[in-house]
Homo-oligomer: A and B are copies of this chain.
Amino acid sequence: LRKPVTVREVAKRAGVAISSVSRVVNDVPTVAADVRERVLAAIHELGWTPNLAAQHMRGISTRMIGFMFPDIRNPLYATMVQGAEDFLIEHGYMVMVASTNGSSERELALLDLFAKRGADGIILTVGDETNPAVIDRIGSGTLPVVLLEREMPTLVNAVGVDHFDGALRATGHLLSLGHRRIALITGGNGNRVARDRVAGVRKAHVAHHVELDPSLIRVQSFATAYAFRETQMLMGLPAAPTAILAFGMHTFPGVLSALRLLGLAVPRDISLIASNDCDLAQLATPAITVIRYDAYALGREAAGLLLRQLSGDVLQDGTRVQLATEFILRESCAPPQHLQENHE
């Protein structure tokens, strides 16, 4: 209700000039002990805090970081936001969020908005890695940027998960069990995540000298409905897969429900590996083998990289932080049926 106190009043109260107050709060060394004390006392008594808008106008950082992603309802993004937010708040930053629905136009508009609002930097997951306008804008270096789970053909730092290794290990496990027809259902076609996963699956096949049937690779959408439909189509194939890699928070429930509907038992009739880990994977019967990664840590890493970038510690030069995955063996994988029968 009463108007906020300013440096001027603090200075008067302490009996010094306003520049002395400024020097005290900005830790300028050349200030007499008694002055410092009087100023500090006055600040405390008056409850003064510097006006951020005025500071900002003087070119001082706003200590705000922008966070952009397609949709925060995706628990993966929500978890990353939480990780970044926890880290940033510890360092005196606040985070502004905005969702893009994957639209490049919205991304461009929001990049502008964040800049106009004086954000110190941006963490973002672009919808389309190949959009020239977005690439250009990010590469222009107007605003420090860290890319999350994406890569772009321009100088930008990024953090991501080692999905290649995750897919490699999961596929290798299935191949070792004797599977020869392994389906991959996931989304993000055209993005780094899908590329890495497909590459991992492919590499594992090469290593095991098994040919990979491209018709078993379904990477068009993360939607549950897509996973549900593709599973039914795959299992209806003359040569149906004996194992499924279901990657994506919403992919796995779709696959599981389709298998149930078809009356297929896991792992007897079909083996299953999901990613990321979740309640359902842990609590399903049987519990589902998963590739796990730490989305929270990913968010923290992104924030950390951005802050190091802001401090000039690292440049925006294409540095990439890659987080490892964990392969968690549970009960959803077994040798394919013809091999099981051999043992009976």
Whether A269 is near chain B, meaning CB under 8 Å from some CB there, is no
A72/B64 contact (C-beta < 8 A), A52-B116, A53-B56, A97-B97 known: no
Q: Smallest distance from the beta carbon of A59 to chain B beta carbons, Å?
A: 9
A338 partner residues in chain B, CB cutoff 8 A = none
Alpha-carbon distance A75/B56, docked complex (angstroms):
35
Alpha-carbon distance A284/B254, docked complex (angstroms):
10
A117/B94 contact (C-beta < 8 A), A51-B57, A82-B73 known: yes
Alpha-carbon distance A62/B81, docked complex (angstroms):
23
Alpha-carbon distance A257/B257, docked complex (angstroms):
16
| Known contacts A53-B53, A75-B75, then 7 further A-B pairs from the complex at CB < 8 Å, ordered by chain A residue | A54-B57, A56-B56, A73-B78, A253-B280, A253-B283, A260-B283, A260-B285
Q: A residues engaging B (CB < 8 A)? A: 1, 49, 51-54, 56-57, 62, 64, 71-73, 75, 78-79, 81-82, 85-86, 89, 94-99, 113, 116-118, 142, 224, 250, 253-254, 256-257, 260-261, 279-280, 283-285, 296
A97 partner residues in chain B, CB cutoff 8 A = 81, 85, 95-97
Alpha-carbon distance A251/B195, docked complex (angstroms):
36
A82 partner residues in chain B, CB cutoff 8 A = 71-73, 99
Q: Smallest distance from the beta carbon of A93 to chain B beta carbons, Å?
A: 11
Q: Smallest distance from the beta carbon of A51 to chain B beta carbons, Å?
A: 7
Are B118 and A64 closer than 8 Å at their CB atoms?
no
Are A96 and B99 closer than 8 Å at their CB atoms?
no
Alpha-carbon distance A54/B142, docked complex (angstroms):
20
A96 partner residues in chain B, CB cutoff 8 A = 64, 94-97
A-B contact pairs, 7 of them (CB 8 A): A71-B82, A72-B85, A78-B78, A96-B96, A224-B283, A254-B283, A257-B285
